[in-house]
Structure 1
Amino acid sequence: MSVPAVVVAAPASGSGKTTLATGLIGALRRAGHRVAPFKVGPDYIDPGYHGLAAGRPGRNLDPVLVGTERVVPLYQHGARGCDVAVVEGVMGLFDGRIDANQSAPVAEGSTAQVAGLLGAPVILVVDARGHSQSLAALLHGFATFDSSIRLGGVILNRVGSERHDQVLREACDRVGLPVLGSLPRMAELEVPSRHLGLIPAVEHGTAAVAAVDAMTDLVAAHVDLPAIAALARSTVSGPAWDPGLAAVVDGTGSAAVGFAPVIAIAGGPAFTFGYAEHRELLAAAGAEVAVFDPMHDELPVGTAGLVLPGGFPEEHAAELAANTRLLAQIGEQSRRGLPVHAECAGLLYLTRSLDGHPMAGVVEADAEFGPRLTLGYRDAVALTDSVLWRAGQQVRGHEFHRTRLVVSGADTAAWGWRVGADRVHEGALVHRVHASYLHTHPAGNPEAVVRFVAAATDCAHEAR
């Protein structure tokens, strides 16, 4: 049986989706449900808050990065053992990848596309500030824009008064949409943010737990949970994604039978961006996964492969630089041929310096905080063979950073893509190191994970 789901969407960004979705996950869990939390798109931060509320990993559903054919299987995999799922949308309901050649009825990667693929009803969260009777027209437009999307109800957020609430409810009645909740303005619930959005839950520590508890209390007090549970309906059926099957290439696995190479994954406050499926695929491909904190730890014993994921190293540059033993280890092991997969924060960590703080010095560049945000999906091509990709392989990825590299070396570029009329060469290949700003989703590219584990296996055997 497919697990019932609701999709939490909004007319636009900044409407309060994350507060509502996180609070709804927590309130349903408190009411006795086993809740599976999901986020549409490549967001790494919101799933951290979802995970705190649900008591299980938050996961992403991104048709752009994994393909539409994997959305339902990944949903089934992440919802296993649960009785309801909450899927938080991205931006506005119909917002997705901006593509001049877009011909589909809904934008690729949009909340509407994911809701349609799952067959799940949509709850529209409306920021009520500034709205009155004209809310009816807005809701009418969202309810009729795409007949394949079922709008199941409205949650009014940041309502100013009882009179305001009454007027808004009358507007909802005019278009036949039930009000599933009405939340007052509560500025103290705002979670601190920085240049890329909310501060990750791991960094926010006990304050994040307190914020999630407050969101849960708010939703439990002002939202009709039984009505939402009744609104949720079973998604489309289909087999669940299986990391064991995904990690098989041409009928064979990658690692030697009876041998598991140790692959170290950077964690802690500086490296918080990652997908739960990555560790699952690494393990399924035959690796032993060991998580460590580069702010304090050394490389785990027997490390044969290193993953440096995304995050906020610029916020912890001094602490990272102070762990000179680890920086020296990574520099030395990289020169000896240790396979390294570094994305965004990992790329910065491998440069000579980050905002003046010494880093590992593997990549011939210096990194600094930049004047603008770089954001968007990329259709990239691997420019040469690496521990992850074969030359010419086409991969979809996502950039999300506000740092830049000042390059003075001649490292081989990892990727090539176009932005408008411009041709971009990005990233660096050094020894067996693949470092890039580009984030990829392992479930959309399992062959890269298998290839990396095979490289780590070879490295472990060479060290013997």
Structure 2
Amino acid sequence: MVSVPGVCIAATASGTGKTTIATGLMGALARRMRVAPFKVGPDYIDPGYHGLAAQRVGRNLDSVMCSRERIGPLYAHGSAGCDIAVMEGVMGLFDGRITDSPDDAGAGSTAEIAALLGMPVILVVDVRGMSQSAGAIVRGFATHHPEVRIAGAIINKAGTDRHAEVCRRAIENTGVPVVGIIPRIDKVEVPSRHLGLVTAAEQGGAAVDAVARMADMIESYVDIDAVLDLATCHYDGPAWDPTAEVEPVAAAPRIALASGPVFSFAYAEHTELLGAAGAQVVEFDPLHEELPECEGLIIPGGFPEEHVEELAARRSVTAAVQEHIAAGKPVHAECAGLLWLLKTLDAHPMVGAIGTHGAMGRRLKLGYREAVALEPSVLYDAGQRVTGHEFHHTALAEETATGFQPAWGWRGWDGAAVAEGFISDTIHASYLHVHPASVPQSIAHFVRAAAAHR
């Protein structure tokens, strides 16, 4: 099959305006055609804004968690039926997983994903504090890796007209065309906090307005036709198909999926695999809705610490989750989901299923983890290996709890053994985020566990 053409919006570093420009481009293009939005890496927040801009679910392309071989199929699946794809990079163009192995250098980087897809890169260059040096930066990025093609550049944060022109000439003297020059504009960015941008689910109407302003900005300052002329993709293989990954159960269990402002960190492929495995997925917002009748409960990641008082006040939902657990029905809780199952979070009462406490801390735990399942659970077989991602500021008072075994084991940067998470016969709770497309059988395993209660 011939893949949908696309462009990759990358940058020299974080903080250059890449997300604003990529989201604005998605929104501007969506006013003309069908746009498939993608984000490189494990990030959950940017795809929420991408989805608002493109009016189509935002998806991630992560070669570390999902493998290089799945990138093309996942891209073809996510862009099916669209006219163009826009992929936002992560950090700087060549920034990837940090590892001591030279074979893994750049793994998961924007450059790797763009090269795997044969997708042209449009480099965002923040020119504050420079002029002719913009050309040297673009030349360096354009010649750093032979498989990565810098097809265009967008100048961001230009000052005067003369400053913009000097930067444009410097960049175009390298042979890379400038397809947009954006001045210094206030009030088009999304507010941020300790783990990045405030989520689209939390912003509500303000997020919709912010995305519209981003699209207006791109229409005013970027040559959209020039961007369309650059779009290509060289992947010509099959698309990823969730129905080919798992066998459906006959019982069709109902699985409740927590969502809303607190629990918004879920990959699109998760619900697709649940459906392919035979589940009926029912989303609910614990801040405003009751737990629906269900045989299984999934609580994704998010920001419970930002809504902890509201969450603690929802005692009817807490009681329903406690009853669900007491009935022996399976629960999959990931990061924020783990925190909700604790006794307390920042001294506010939570569900109380796991006998320890959580609190915000100063230390950020961040990075990919090569983990092994230490015991069998409602998701994994003992000894099963996964590559997941950890990203949180909270910490637990105790790493163990009565009635639970550790979910995962891995080696830290210093080589020390790490045991993490909590599993019982029916609960799997962990800080580790795992992309479901990398372990589809774990989703089928959970659906089967839920089907036993149908």
- Is the contact made by 2:407 and 2:421 (CA closer than 8 Å) also made in structure 1? yes
Deviation at 1:373, TM superposition (A): 1.1
Deviation at 1:298, TM superposition (A): 2.0
1:459 alignment partner, SS class: coil
1:342 alignment partner, SS class: strand
Deviation at 1:323, TM superposition (A): 1.2
1:233 alignment partner, SS class: coil
Work out whether 1:6 is the aligned partner of 2:7. Answer: yes
Work out whether 1:329 is the aligned partner of 2:328. Answer: no
- Is the contact made by 1:37 and 1:58 (CA closer than 8 Å) also made in structure 2? yes
- Is the contact made by 1:363 and 1:430 (CA closer than 8 Å) also made in structure 2? no
Work out whether 1:178 is the aligned partner of 2:177. Answer: yes
Per-residue deviation, residues 343-371 of structure 1 (Å, max 9, x unmatched): 00000000001111111111111010011
Structure 1 equivalent of residue 445 of structure 2: 451
Alpha-carbon distance in structure 2 between the residues aligned to 1:102 and 1:429: 35
- Is the contact made by 1:351 and 1:360 (CA closer than 8 Å) also made in structure 2? yes
Structure 1 equivalent of residue 370 of structure 2: 379
- Is the contact made by 1:335 and 1:431 (CA closer than 8 Å) also made in structure 2? no
Alpha-carbon distance in structure 1 between the residues aligned to 2:338 and 2:233: 41
Residues 16-165 of structure 1 mapped to structure 2, 5 A cutoff:
16-30=17-31, 32-103=32-103, 107-165=106-164
Alpha-carbon distance in structure 2 between the residues aligned to 1:391 and 1:459: 23
Alpha-carbon distance in structure 1 between the residues aligned to 2:233 and 2:185: 33
Work out whether 1:194 is the aligned partner of 2:188. Answer: no
Structure 2 equivalent of residue 169 of structure 1: 168
- AA aligned to 1:46 is D
Deviation at 1:158, TM superposition (A): 0.6
Residues 380-459 of structure 1 mapped to structure 2, 5 A cutoff:
380-407=371-398, 409-410=401-402, 411-420=404-413, 421-459=415-453
- Is the contact made by 1:334 and 1:431 (CA closer than 8 Å) also made in structure 2? no
- AA aligned to 1:72 is G
Structure 2 equivalent of residue 268 of structure 1: 260
- Is the contact made by 1:254 and 1:451 (CA closer than 8 Å) also made in structure 2? no
**Residue from 294, 309, 320 that aligns with 2:311:** 320
Alpha-carbon distance in structure 2 between the residues aligned to 1:383 and 1:90: 32
Deviation at 1:254, TM superposition (A): 4.4
Alpha-carbon distance in structure 2 between the residues aligned to 1:145 and 1:132: 21
2:376 alignment partner, SS class: coil
Residues 276-287 of structure 1 mapped to structure 2, 5 A cutoff:
276-287=268-279
Alpha-carbon distance in structure 2 between the residues aligned to 1:202 and 1:329: 24
Deviation at 1:297, TM superposition (A): 2.0
Per-residue deviation, residues 280-306 of structure 1 (Å, max 9, x unmatched): 1000100000001111222212x1000
- AA aligned to 1:25 is M
**Residue from 349, 352, 361 that aligns with 1:358:** 349
* Farther off after superposition, 231-240 or 349-358: 231-240
Alpha-carbon distance in structure 1 between the residues aligned to 2:237 and 2:43: 25
Alpha-carbon distance in structure 1 between the residues aligned to 2:429 and 2:373: 12
Normalised by the size of structure 2, how large is the TM-score?
0.98
Structure 1 runs (4+) greater than 3 angstroms displaced: none
Structure 2 equivalent of residue 250 of structure 1: none
**Residue from 300, 309, 312 that aligns with 2:292:** 300
- AA aligned to 1:334 is I
- AA aligned to 1:320 is L
Deviation at 1:455, TM superposition (A): 0.4
Alpha-carbon distance in structure 2 between the residues aligned to 1:459 and 1:231: 53
1:189 alignment partner, SS class: coil
Alpha-carbon distance in structure 1 between the residues aligned to 2:361 and 2:148: 40
Alpha-carbon distance in structure 1 between the residues aligned to 2:264 and 2:450: 23
Deviation at 1:13, TM superposition (A): 0.7
- AA aligned to 2:254 is V
Per-residue deviation, residues 220-250 of structure 1 (Å, max 9, x unmatched): 0000000000000133111111110012xxx
* Farther off after superposition, 162-171 or 399-408: 399-408
Deviation at 1:173, TM superposition (A): 2.1
- AA aligned to 1:12 is A
Matched length: 450
Alpha-carbon distance in structure 2 between the residues aligned to 1:171 and 1:101: 36
The root-mean-square deviation of aligned C-alpha atoms, in Å, is 1.0
2:354 alignment partner, SS class: coil
- AA aligned to 2:259 is G
Per-residue deviation, residues 97-141 of structure 1 (Å, max 9, x unmatched): 00101325x510000000011100000001111121122211111
Structure 1 equivalent of residue 340 of structure 2: 349
- Structure 2 gaps of 5+ residues are none
Identical-pair percentage: 56
Normalised by the size of structure 1, how large is the TM-score?
0.95
- Is the contact made by 2:243 and 2:277 (CA closer than 8 Å) also made in structure 1? yes
- Is the contact made by 2:256 and 2:297 (CA closer than 8 Å) also made in structure 1? yes
Alpha-carbon distance in structure 2 between the residues aligned to 1:169 and 1:202: 37
2:157 alignment partner, SS class: strand
Per-residue deviation, residues 318-362 of structure 1 (Å, max 9, x unmatched): 111111111112122213211111000000000001111111111
Deviation at 1:459, TM superposition (A): 2.2
